[in-house]
Amino acid sequence: MLERQEKAALITLVCVVGIVLAAHLLFDAVGRPLVAEPYSPEVPDGALVLLEGSIEGIAKTSTGGHLILTVNGTAVFLPENVAAGLELHENENITLYGVVQTYRGKREVVVSSSGDIRVLR
């Protein structure tokens, strides 16, 4: 049987885990729009951005199931684990969150989760 101090420690631990999980979910749902800035060519690498627009092109990479979208003239990289859960089509309007990076001298937005992309209908 657990002693009184052990029960208190266990209850405290469960409460802390619950608070951290709730904060994570709340930030995921509400926080990104507060910290992301609209994409522009002047945004530095590593910045979290919001990109909205129409899908002008969809291409698969030669190395696997990764996708590269062109949204408003901007390259958007979707790793295989992100692309696998999505069904995207040209001319669809989307909103996405991603991190800006330069790859082989070209700027792109990298999306880390399928939940960071929303198709506007």
pLDDT: which is higher, 65 or 90:
90
Backbone angles phi, psi at 23, to 5 degrees: -65, -40
> For 38-60, how does the pLDDT look when each residue is reduced to its tens digit (9 = 90+)?
898 889 999 999 999 999 999 88
What pLDDT is attached to residue 1? 58
> For 85-98, how does the pLDDT look when each residue is reduced to its tens digit (9 = 90+)?
788 889 999 999 99
102 strand-pairing partners: 107
Euclidean distance between CA atoms 94 and 42, whole angstroms = 21
pLDDT: which is higher, 45 or 114:
45
pLDDT class for 113, splitting at 50, 70, 90?
confident
What pLDDT is attached to residue 29? 60
Token pair 């590269």 in the structure block, residue: 68
- Token pair of 119 as six digits: 């198709």
Q: Quick check: helix, strand or coil at residue 60? A: strand
The set of residues, in sequence order, having a beta carbon less than 8 Å from that of 65 and lying 6+ positions away, is 80, 83, 84
In the predicted model, is pLDDT for residue 34 greater than 80? no
Euclidean distance between CA atoms 49 and 97, whole angstroms = 6
